[in-house]
């Protein structure tokens, strides 16, 4: 009888080694920019079972990882508002620069890159078991004037400028 649990453990280990690489899926990045340049950001993702276990066991904290990646990108403090198994909500003060001149308001956003986040995640113990691609399936940036910029599967988002 003691051989059965041992056999099951061996089979599970072999299955883990034989599994094809699995991946975290970056589903959507929504950035809402306020009149003052502050951004409310929601990053939605799907985790496979290995990543879910890593988050559940607190090996990886998606909120802190996204926060680190954004702070290194923006060189500004990022506040984590909420984290769950499928999304992270953040806030960044002065995300965009806002200038008013001659009755025209101009909002300029920084460029975004997810390459640094991918590099950080590739240093974790489970990196060989997963295929990491942080480029969101869809990135939506909403501006205070109601205009919207949308990007599909983009690892980098160029700076955006809107005037009204």
pTM of the model: 0.72
| 124 conformational bin, left if phi > 0, alpha if psi -120 to 50, beta if neither | beta
| Domains of the chain by residue range | 29-163
- For the stretch 133-154, pLDDT in tens is 678 899 999 999 999 999 999 8
Task: Tell me what the mean pLDDT of segment 29-46 comes to.
Answer: 92
Pairing of strands 138-142, 161-163: unpaired
pLDDT at 78: 86
pLDDT at 62: 63
23, 33, 54, 112, 146 from 98: Cα distances, Å: 38, 10, 40, 18, 15
CA dihedral 86, 140, 121, 110 (to 10 degrees): -140
- For the stretch 12-36, pLDDT in tens is 444 444 444 445 678 899 999 999 9
pLDDT at 5: 44
């Amino acid at each position: 009888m003691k051989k059965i649990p041992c056999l099951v453990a061996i089979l599970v280990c072999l299955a883990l080694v034989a599994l094809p690489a699995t991946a975290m899926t970056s589903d959507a990045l929504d950035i809402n920019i306020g009149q003052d340049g502050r951004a409310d950001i929601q990053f939605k993702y799907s985790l496979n079972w290995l990543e879910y276990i890593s988050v559940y066991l607190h090996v990886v904290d998606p909120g802190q990882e996204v926060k680190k990646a954004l702070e290194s990108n923006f060189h500004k403090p990022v506040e984590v508002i909420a984290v769950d198994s499928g999304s992270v909500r953040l806030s960044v003060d002065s995300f965009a620069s806002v200038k008013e001149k001659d009755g025209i308001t101009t909002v300029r956003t920084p460029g975004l890159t997810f390459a640094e986040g991918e590099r950080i995640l590739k240093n974790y113990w489970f990196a060989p078991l997963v295929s990491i691609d942080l480029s969101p399936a869809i990135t939506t940036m909403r501006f205070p004037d109601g205009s919207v910029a949308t990007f599909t599967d983009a690892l980098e988002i160029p700076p955006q400028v809107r005037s009204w």
